Amino acid sequence: MKLKKWFGAAALLAVAAFGLAACASSSANKEESKKQDDGTVKVGVMSLSDTEQARWDKVQEILDKENSGIKLDFTQFTDYSQPNRALVDGDVDINAFQHYNFLENWNKENNADLVAVADTYIAPIRLYSGTEDGKNKYSSVKDIPDNGTIAVPNDATNESRALYLLESAGLIKLDVEGNELATVANIKENKKNLTISELDAAQTAASLTSVDAAVVNNTFVREAKLDYKNALFKEEANENSKQWYNLIAANKNWKESDKAAAIEKIIKAYHTDEVKKVIEESSDGMDQPVW
């Protein structure tokens, strides 16, 4: 009986020891897995274009040169509401696909508090000269005649942006500023007595044969075969256009997360002359760094 009891006790001790070893091994594996994951930062983006890919490739190259141990892991989305939802749910650590105006509206509509952690670039909209016989009528904003007509997009967001552009160009003055939406009713000064023709955004480029100038969204510039380098005026980076700055977003408490140091290094890498050069070259000058 004593021998059986001894074997029984020994067996229990062995099982207990094995259980402790298994737990220790599991804990070690979890710790090791955590260590391996610490260097990975998940970035939510819309489908990566060649230009965006070039910029992030340069950021990764800079991080690698610094031996940061940070690896960027991209998740691509097809719906504009998804990257922010993924950020709220913790599926990504940061995202980069939107401007301030979009972020502010998304937060309001979804009762969220995502924040901008870094400015990246603006894709300036431009004012183009009207055309005649396939050639530009004017080479300068000051050439636009009194009582001329300027076409602008008629949706609320793009019309506001276009009117702020005309104000920056010195053609009109508005009684609103900053993030406030502007409409033609907000024009308080119009010395040239210009007619503002409100058209569907897709039609402003087509109207160039019948107006003196038009604000054309970047979406339609290449489609209309316009040379953006010959635009009469380009949107300036200022307080009125800041709502259109693209940005990197994170959760409100990102500085308390275990990814805080890595995110700060990513921002530092992005805000370099090397990335600035890639932005300008990859977009052929259509995009403008704003940090």
**Which string of DSSP letters, residue by residue, matches 151-200?**
EEE-SHHHHHHHHHHHHHTTS-EES--TTS---GGGEEE-TT--EEEEE-
pLDDT above 50 (res 75): yes
pLDDT at 179: 87
Mean pLDDT of 93-121: 96
pLDDT of res. 47:
83
The CATH number of the domain where 86 resides is what? 3.40.190.10
Do 147 and 251 reside in the same domain of the chain?
Answer: no
pLDDT of 206 higher than 70: yes
Residue 4 has pLDDT above 50, yes or no: no
Position 22 in a domain? no
**Are 230 and 145 found together in one domain?**
yes
Instruction: Verify that 261 and 224 share a domain, yes or no.
Output: no
User: 269 lies in a domain?
Assistant: yes
- Round the average pLDDT of the chain to a whole number and report it: 89
In a domain, 15, yes or no: no
Cα-based distances in Å from 253 to 55, 88, 114: 26, 11, 9
Percent of the chain surpassing pLDDT 70: 87
Do 184 and 46 fall into the same domain? Answer: no
Same domain, 191 and 277: no
Structure tokens at 257: 């997360």
Position 3 in a domain: no
Looking at the domain assignment, is residue 8 inside a domain?
no
**Residue 149 and residue 219 in one domain:** yes
Identify the pLDDT of residue 222: 81
- Span 129-165, pLDDT tens digits: 999 999 999 999 999 999 999 999 999 999 999 999 9
What per-residue confidence (pLDDT) applies to 264? Answer: 98
What percent of the chain is modeled with pLDDT above 90?
78
Q: Report the domain count for the chain.
A: 2
Q: What is the pTM of this model?
A: 0.79
Domain shared by 165 and 226, yes or no: yes
Is the residue at 273 inside a domain?
yes
Look at residue 35 and tell me whether its pLDDT is greater than 70. no
Answer whether residue 131 is part of any domain: yes
Same domain, 229 and 256: no
What is the Cα–Cα distance from 240 to 196, expressed in whole angstroms?
A: 20
Q: Does the residue 211 lie in any domain? A: yes
Of residues 3 and 263, the one with the higher pLDDT is 263
Do 44 and 142 fall into the same domain?
no
- Let me know whether 118 and 130 are in one domain: no
- Indicate if 155 and 63 belong to the same structural domain: no
SS3 (DSSP) at 82: helix
pLDDT band at 126; cut points 50, 70, 90: very high
Domain of 76 in residue numbering reads as 40-123+243-289
Taking only the tens place, the pLDDT of each residue in 237-291 is 999 999 999 999 999 999 999 999 999 999 999 999 999 999 999 999 899 999 9
Give pLDDT, residue 7: 43
Q: Are residues 72 and 116 in the same domain?
A: yes
Percent of the chain that is helix, strand, coil (3-state, to 5)? 45, 20, 35
User: Look-up: residue for tokens 């230009």?
Assistant: 51
Q: pLDDT tens-digit profile of 59-68?
A: 999 999 999 9
More confident position, 222 or 99: 99
pLDDT band at 6 (very low <50, low <70, confident <90, very high): very low
Of 17-26, 213-222, 232-241, minimum mean pLDDT range: 17-26
